[in-house]
């Protein structure tokens, strides 16, 4: 019976570890690429983190193109929240570009969720990361949309970042 208990406990521990990983330490945010991608310093290495569960307006890839509406405001808002600050990251693995998919926290504040609440990112429309609670993102988006915050002030003219990427 004792061996069975040990086996079950070990299996549960492994399940928890594989579902998500919280980087135990705090990491300095050294760059904000756009409204959903940051770079942190982890043990002297630069690590890119893609804020999981959200999709922010696309920034321009050239100086002549302004990018998607609200893209600069989204980037600036994220920078104001985290740039040069110490954050923790709950990891949900990596994306196809090798970036950590993570929920970023400043203290107890979920920065990903704050971006959606501000109407400067929408809930990610692709497949959700395994183990991610998408309900809180959906509820935050519904509230921001109802109140017409930022991207949602565009009404019928709003184009999701996913559709924007396909067109450009």
Residue 58 annotated to the active site: yes
Residue 42 annotated to the active site: no
What is the rounded CA–CA span in Å between residue 160 and residue 153? 13
Q: What average pLDDT does range 122-145 have in this prediction?
A: 96
Q: What is the pLDDT of residue 60?
A: 86
Active-site position among 28, 48, 99, 149? 99
Res. 112: pLDDT tops 70:
yes
| Domains recognised in the chain with CATH numbers | 21-167 (2.40.50.90)
Residue 99 annotated to the active site: yes
Q: What is the pLDDT of residue 55?
A: 98
Q: What is the pLDDT of residue 12?
A: 42
DSSP 51-84: ETTEEPPPPPSSTT---STTHHHHHHHHHHHHTT
Confidence band (pLDDT; 50, 70, 90) for 65? Answer: confident
Confidence band (pLDDT; 50, 70, 90) for 15? Answer: very low
pLDDT in tens, 16-34: 444 445 556 899 999 999 9
């Amino acid at each position: 019976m004792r061996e069975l208990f040990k086996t079950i406990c070990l299996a549960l521990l492994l399940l928890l570890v594989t579902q998500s990983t919280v980087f135990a330490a705090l990491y300095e945010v050294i760059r904000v690429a756009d409204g959903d991608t940051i770079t942190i310093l982890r043990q002297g290495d630069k690590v890119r983190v893609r804020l999981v569960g959200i999709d922010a307006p696309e920034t321009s890839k050239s100086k002549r193109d302004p990018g998607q509406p609200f893209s600069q405001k989204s980037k600036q808002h994220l920078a104001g929240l985290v740039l040069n600050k110490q954050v923790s990251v709950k990891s949900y693995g990596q994306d196809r570009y090798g970036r950590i998919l993570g929920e970023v926290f400043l203290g107890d504040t979920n920065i990903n969720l704050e971006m959606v609440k501000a109407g400067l990112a929408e809930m990610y429309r692709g497949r959700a990361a395994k183990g991610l609670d998408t309900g809180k993102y959906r509820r935050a988006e519904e509230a921001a949309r109802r109140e017409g915050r930022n991207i949602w002030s565009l009404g019928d003219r709003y184009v999701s970042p996913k559709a924007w990427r396909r067109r450009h």
